[in-house]
Chains A and B, each alone.
Chain A
Amino acid sequence: MEQLELLMGGFANALTPINLLWVLIGAVLGTAVGVLPGLGSAMAVALLLPVTFSLEPTAAFIMFAGIYFGGLFGDSTSGILLNTPGNSSAMASTFEGHRMAKSGQAAKALATCAIGAFIGGLIATTLVVFFAPTLVKMATVFGPAEYFALAVFAFLAISAVVSESVIRGIAALGIGLALALVGIDGPSGTSRFTLGMPQLFDGISVIVITVGLLALGEVFHIASRIHRDPAATQIEAKGRARLNLADFRKALPAWLRGTAFGAPFGLIPAGGAEVPTFLAYGTEKQLAKRRNDPEFGTTGSIRGLAAPEAAANATAGTAMGALLALGLPTSATAAIMLAAFQQYGMQPGPLLFERSGDLVWALLASLFIGLVILVMINMPFASVWAKLLSIPKHYLYAGITVFSMLGVYAVSSAILDLWLLIAIGLIGFMMRRYNIPLAPVLIAVILGPMAETELRRALAVSEGDLGILVGSPITVTLYAVLAAALVLSAIQHLRHRRANRQAVLVP
């Protein structure tokens, strides 16, 4: 229990009244930036980092912890209320979260999120404190073949979300893959579908695609229906920001499942928070189907929101562990933080704990403090945020448009991104019009390039030998689980059909 002692030392360093003020400021600023569409945790950290430079290290870290997790708390808020996730890691929370908001449970959804983010972050940070050196070994057993297997696994596991109509789902996947193809191809340096425009060399940003499809698409959709079916778009902000015991009983297992998905992903580079959030969402969807949960996909299921939210924050927590113990920035946010730590002469990596132990433990303690402060300010705020929905619709959606545009422009300062945003918004509108699901587009945008790059890397390393794809225990296990799941669902499907046929024959 040496760690516990050191952690307590960290708390002693971090818990001073002035530091609590810093963490409060950090949490509020982080949440505020996170709430803006397009500006997620990474952006919050990058923008507010210079503010912390003038502070002494412990104060800076504690403010920083507030900003880091604050961005994550904030980015699902706009997703739930306005269907406009603040960041790609909040995409999966948006689906059920916004449905809950639409059916008048906005405050409850926000509270679910806040607690989910707290639980995910708390468990992950605890894991880091006690097992950081062991956990980071995971990072080094993942080669390209393993990543590819993981991507294939995720693709099929998440295909649950496209199950309503296979054709529409595949069409949506196709749109996503096409959008993801734009840009310079990493392994060969060839530009693809850039129309010779250098601005497109880095591809279309996931932020632009997410905000365009979800936010602008929704705005166009609402605008097109405005005098036709007012009832359908009416959002009532009733309900309180409190979870009753029944809600808790539903949400708690989902939070834990989400954390279980999220925590391992924070450790592996290039994983990011998107894959585990979608995996968590897909699992909840499957479970909902099995227990015939009527809320899922209609009025919004608390489980479908709780799991991805916990997953996102758990990823953020363990990503911090990977950064500290291995010096590997596994996400954009972590990469920015690496720069921040170096400001204080702290070089994350295998020697960090020996070299600047005091600072590290103060930082870890700060993360815990940040989480507590955030859940404390976010719970009461949930009902305040939910009031946003009582703004008359034309103002609200005009506001969404302005903030989406602002957010996207702030990230890249490129006019082209605004045109792309409008174009993708129109695609989103058409997809809503023809009932094509949006989730597969986002999944394809995230997983498509990952699967492609990793497959090519694997084959480049093996000089074209396909054997490398099943050459390690991890890949074999992943494919075996996948095959078993496919066979199982096929058997279930057949049984279901036979049962149906008999039911038809009997009368």
Chain B
Amino acid sequence: MKKPLRNALFGAAVAVIAALAFINAGTASETSTAKNKLALIAPAAPGGGWDGFAREGQQALKSGGVVNNVQVVNVPGAGGTIGLSQFVQTPGREDALLVTGGVMVGAIELGDNPESMADVVPIARMADDYAALVVPADSKFQTLNDFLEAWKKDPGATSIGGGSLGSIDHLLSAMVAKTVGIDPKDVNYIAYSGGGEALTSLLSHTTAAGMSGYNEVRDQIEAGTVRALAISSDERLEGVDVPTFKEQGVEASMSNWRGFVAAPGTTDETKAAFIEIVAEMRSTAHWQGALKRNSWTDTFSTGEEFEQFIKDEVATAQEIVKDLGL
């Protein structure tokens, strides 16, 4: 019986090493250049939104032959701010990009983090998706106007379910409220830990309406279990039969964007190299497929345009959080 035991132990050991390799590989070397070896740091647990984004990026970089060795490193916690604060502590790092996005901006404003988006070097905005205001199919609200009327009359009784506090869902609800003349503090926003839970709360008629990522509810809309009243994009999206808020006279728009930033103190030369890498990644067949598969809108932008965009996003988030009194 000695041998099977040894085999079992060996198997377990192999699994441990494999498991650790998956998680922690790519954190060690500091000297190599990004073209040879690149770590994509996803500030979320495996399976989360940013993790999926990072893994699509990894596949694209690998399959397109852009970077030889790409690893995804997960640093989960607190809306991505744990990942950010760790990243900020490795200035000048040339072999890693941090995945970031709108959720992190909201989380930074909501918590009292010493680190902010100003501490990192923006590289590129890659892909966006949008939030939609949905109601159950049997709801009395047929249009956005129906909903807004009831909402203005009694914001307390017209509860909105959505993602966690500081998420796009939350900030957008407050933004729409302010635009139509409701004090954001009066919004009865019920926070759920994920889109799935928020959707169930809607289907069980716990909340009057839901603010949720359009992709998460797209199938439910098509199947007719929920009705979309408005979407948060600036203009109508191709192939999406949902009117925007703006179209319906509500000046509110917001996107759940995702992109990459580099460590503080990155030289202009390295920055240019990073931009080149992500531009090449964007042109790979895998990335184009990923955009389609995940229904992401390609909003690629770099340089000053992206820097200005982040500044605007931070200012918007700050204002909303102040309005919310949080």
Contacts and interface: CB of A to CB of B under 8 A. Distances in A.
A202 B8 contact: no
B118 interface: no
A488 B218 CA distance: 49
Given A191-B111, A329-B194, A343 B165 contact: no
Nearest to B166: A189
A43 B18 CA distance: 13
21 contacts: A33-B19, A36-B12, A36-B15, A47-B18, A139-B203, A141-B204, A143-B204, A191-B111, A335-B196, A342-B293, A345-B293, A350-B219, A351-B222, A352-B219, A387-B4, A388-B5, A388-B8, A410-B23, A413-B24, A461-B206, A461-B207
Contacts of B237: none
A345 B110 CA distance: 35
Contacts of A482: none
A129 B111 CA distance: 45
B179 interface: no
Contacts of A33: 15, 19
Contacts of A39: 19
B78 A47 contact: no
B59 A53 contact: yes
A352 B220 CA distance: 11
B226 to A, nearest CB: 10
B47 A46 contact: yes
A336 interface: yes
A461 B81 CA distance: 30
A384 B220 contact: no
B111 A201 contact: yes
A479 interface: no
B31 interface: no
Interface string A451-465: 000000100110100
Nearest to A29: B15
Contacts of A461: 159, 188, 190, 206-207
Contact of B52 (A35, A339, A414): A339
A140 B225 CA distance: 11
Given A384-B5, A410-B19, A460-B190, 6 more contacts: A143-B205, A327-B219, A384-B1, A384-B4, A412-B76, A412-B77
B197 interface: yes
Interface string B91-129: 000000000000000000011010000000000000000
Interface string A162-186: 0000000000000000000000101
A198 B218 CA distance: 34
Chain A interface helix/strand/loop/mixed: helix
A191 B166 CA distance: 14
A82 to B, nearest CB: 12
A348 B223 CA distance: 12
Interface in B1-54: 1, 4-5, 8, 11-12, 14-16, 18-20, 22-24, 45-47, 51-52
B75 interface: yes
Contacts of A53: 59
Contacts of A14: none
B55 interface: yes
A147 B132 CA distance: 26
B191 interface: yes
A330 B196 contact: yes
Contact of B199 (A32, A328, A339, A348): A328
Interface string B145-181: 0000000000011010000111000000000000000
Contacts of B110: 189
Nearest to A350: B223
Contacts of B20: 406, 410
Contacts of A142: 200, 204
Contacts of A348: 219
Contact of A198 (B15, B51, B85, B156): B85
B225 A198 contact: no
A42 B190 CA distance: 27
Nearest to B107: A201
A187 interface: yes
A47 B219 contact: no
B102 to A, nearest CB: 17
A332 interface: yes
B46 A347 contact: no
A335 B78 contact: no
B294 interface: yes
A53 B73 CA distance: 18
Contacts of A248: none
B284 interface: no
Contacts of B157: 463
B326 A413 contact: no
A387 B207 contact: no
A32 B194 CA distance: 29
A9 interface: no
Contacts of B223: 349-351
B233 interface: no
Contacts of B8: 381, 384-385, 388
A234 interface: no
Contact of B200 (A191, A269, A342, A403): A269
Interface in B203-235: 203-207, 218-220, 222-223, 225
Interface string A353-385: 000000000000000000000000000010111
